[in-house]
């Protein structure tokens, strides 16, 4: 209450305040028949009794007629609520304020929606009137938790471990590879700035500049549309250190999260477990495993190798052929035939992967199209390998290793959703399972042209020390010093040890990635002028907060987010500008024919 004229907030009055004269400011949340109203501010609710005596008739008229969500000032005396009228669900439920004077500071007209969390409203409407949606307790709580967490991170990094908070430029130049960047026109004909997708180059240059430890709450930009966990502009906790290795970065982040973790979410245990990229793919079918539940992918190639099943033998004849399966616990009870068909259809449409089901009957026998081709020994080994219990359903896939694992990994998550929707508690919503995924490949084949390579992370990632020689002989086999931090099946951070040799950086850009290294000449030159070994990481702040508060989207933890299509529905951005405004930038808009006609009409 410092610097303002209120004496208390609407959420702090208790029985100890009885008898005190107080002044409250807030919004009218509820009013009942001119008898009382509920006043709300950022901290909570207080019940205000409207006076009924003649001496305070003007106060009664004022408060009785105040529309909901009007901003008012109330001065009165704190009193205990009458016996039996206490509200244990409200922190202020033991008291009420008997109004003596009041003032309507701003009357509210009819609202587009009620300011109550339980009132359903479309996301488009919420984004159009974001300033109203911000009044909800859900968003207030998320934004305040976000503020506390960031402040605690600053304290840990700057005050306890000597990091320097440095702001890097927003206007820069295009970076080869990676996500699409937003372009910003300049007054020089044909020349454009780019909004950086991360401060990657700047933080490396700060290490060359001898700052040793850098940190920033960084605004980043990607022109690739929105998804539930993506925004065109987003925030990351950006970190870089000199003279550090992978283990050092990991210990730093574990300490940072443990220090800043909200108390109300329980404690987190360190060190976080770690697995390689290959292990994650083989056991979970993804590089961001949700380790809160089992249903791991099991390799059953050896169990079925001796069978006479045609598709099994066909799959195993390929160099990377594999037979794998997942076991869905109590699948017979919780999954319908329609569910199983939708799972198989999903694998077919997304991964072009056929799936075969095996059901374990109550008597322990197996029901499947496969069983007539299997002997008793093979059936027994299959049950043992998959740890099948009666009522379980197994989904089996055969084919190329990566395709099989990715298909089963997706089915594992879909199955978990179906089981939970049917009433089986599988994932603890209050649990936070962190995991490091390491030893990623340094390069991956391009989707549009598999004969060419692209960086799995970014072109500045250093190769694994054991694989440096392979960089020059067989780049496809090189592992990287890239590490991802995963939380409950979501990537919340990613980083790497960087290339600090100009020669190696030039080789990666020119010979492996076939990129023009001239675009990065400033960075390569810096690496020739005494660059220390260095590495870093970036934590996705929006995604991390959304997982902590269990929000369905990162839009629910950002004050003013863009819509699913990347638009600001409140301010109607992006918007048109006139040809006169474009002229200094030497730009003309070429309108699609249908838009030309629409503008004419």
Q: What is the pLDDT of residues 371-423, one digit of tens each?
A: 888 889 999 999 999 999 999 999 999 999 999 999 999 999 999 999 999 99
In DSSP terms, 434 is beta-bridged to: 487
Distance separating alpha carbons of residues 491 and 387, to the nearest angstrom = 30
Give the pLDDT confidence score for residue 599 in this predicted structure.
Answer: 58
Distance separating alpha carbons of residues 74 and 26, to the nearest angstrom = 9
Give the pLDDT confidence score for residue 198 in this predicted structure.
Answer: 93
Q: Please, what sign has the CA dihedral across residues 365, 370, 373, 377?
A: negative
Structural domains of the chain ordered from first start: 15-106 (2.40.50.140), 140-275+434-556 (3.30.930.10), 293-422 (3.30.1360.30)
Give the pLDDT confidence score for residue 178 in this predicted structure.
Answer: 64
CB atoms within 10 A of CB 413: 17
Which has the closest alpha carbon to 16: 100, 82, 91? 91
Print the SS3 string covering 411-453: HHHHHHHHHHHCCCCCCCCCCCCEEEEECCECEEECCCCCCCE
Distance separating alpha carbons of residues 582 and 575, to the nearest angstrom = 13
Are residues 497 and 475 in contact, defined by beta-carbon separation less than 8 angstroms?
no
Kindly report the backbone phi and psi dihedral angles of residue 439, in degrees, each rounded to the nearest multiple of 5, phi listed first: 60, 45
CB atoms within 10 A of CB 601: 4
Give the pLDDT confidence score for residue 364 in this predicted structure.
Answer: 87
Give the pLDDT confidence score for residue 226 in this predicted structure.
Answer: 62
Residues of the chain with pLDDT under 50: none
């Amino acid at each position: 209450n410092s610097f303002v004229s209120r004496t208390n907030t609407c959420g702090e009055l208790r029985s100890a305040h009885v008898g005190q004269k107080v002044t409250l400011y807030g919004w009218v949340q509820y009013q009942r028949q001119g008898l009382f109203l509920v006043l709300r501010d950022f901290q909570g609710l207080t019940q205000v009794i409207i006076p009924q005596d003649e001496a305070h008739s003007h106060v009664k008229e004022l408060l009785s007629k105040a529309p909901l969500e009007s901003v008012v000032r109330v001065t009165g005396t704190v009193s205990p609520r009458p016996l039996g009228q206490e509200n244990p669900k409200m922190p202020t439920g033991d008291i009420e304020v008997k109004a003596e004077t009041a003032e309507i500071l701003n009357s509210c007209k009819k609202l587009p929606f009620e300011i109550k969390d339980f009132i359903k409203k479309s996301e488009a409407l919420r984004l159009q009137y974001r300033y109203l949606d911000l009044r909800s307790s859900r968003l207030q709580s998320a934004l305040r938790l976000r503020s506390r967490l960031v402040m605690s991170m600053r304290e840990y990094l700057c005050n306890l471990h000597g990091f320097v908070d440095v702001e890097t430029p927003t206007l820069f130049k295009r970076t080869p590879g990676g996500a699409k960047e937003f372009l910003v026109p300049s007054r020089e004909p044909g020349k454009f700035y780019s909004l950086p997708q991360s401060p990657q180059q700047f933080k490396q240059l700060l290490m060359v500049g001898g700052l040793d430890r850098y940190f920033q709450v960084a605004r980043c930009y990607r022109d690739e549309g929105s998804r539930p966990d993506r925004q065109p502009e987003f925030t990351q906790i950006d970190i870089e250190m000199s003279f550090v290795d992978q283990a050092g970065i990991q210990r730093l982040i574990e300490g940072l999260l443990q220090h800043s973790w909200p108390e109300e979410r329980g404690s987190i245990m360190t060190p976080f477990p770690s697995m390689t990229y290959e292990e994650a793919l083989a056991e979970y079918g993804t590089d961001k495993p949700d380790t809160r539940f089992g249903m791991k992918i099991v390799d059953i190639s050896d169990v079925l190798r001796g069978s006479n099943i045609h598709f099994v033998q066909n799959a195993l004849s390929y160099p990377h052929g594999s037979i794998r399966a997942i076991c869905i616990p109590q699948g017979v009870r919780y999954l319908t035939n329609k569910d199983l068909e939708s799972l198989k259809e999903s694998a077919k449409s997304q991964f072009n992967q056929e799936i075969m089901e095996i059901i374990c009957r109550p008597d322990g026998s197996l029901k499947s199209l496969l069983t007539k081709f299997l002997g008793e020994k093979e059936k027994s080994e299959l049950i043992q390998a998959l740890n099948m219990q009666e009522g379980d359903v197994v989904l089996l896939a055969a084919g190329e290793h990566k395709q099989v694992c990715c298909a089963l990994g997706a089915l594992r998550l879909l199955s978990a959703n179906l089981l939970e929707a049917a009433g089986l508690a599988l994932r603890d919503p209050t649990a936070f399972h962190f995991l490091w995924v390491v030893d990623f490949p340094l390069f991956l084949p391009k989707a549009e042209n598999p004969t060419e390579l692209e960086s799995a992370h970014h072109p500045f990632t250093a190769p694994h020390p054991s694989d440096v020689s392979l960089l020059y002989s067989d780049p496809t086999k090189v592992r990287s010093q890239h590490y991802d931090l995963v939380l409950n099946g979501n990537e919340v951070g990613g980083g790497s040890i960087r290339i600090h040799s100009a020669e190696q950086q030039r080789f990666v850009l020119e010979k492996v990635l076939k990129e023009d290294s001239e675009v990065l000449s400033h960075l390569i030159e810096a690496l020739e002028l005494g660059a220390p070994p260095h590495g870093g990481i970036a934590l996705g702040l929006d995604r991390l907060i959304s997982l902590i508060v269990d929000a369905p989207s990162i839009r629910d933890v950002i004050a003013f987010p863009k819509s699913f299509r990347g638009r600001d529905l409140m301010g109607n951005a992006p918007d048109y500008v006139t040809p006169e405004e474009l002229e200094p930038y030497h730009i003309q808009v070429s309108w699609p024919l249908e838009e030309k006609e629409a503008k004419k009409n």
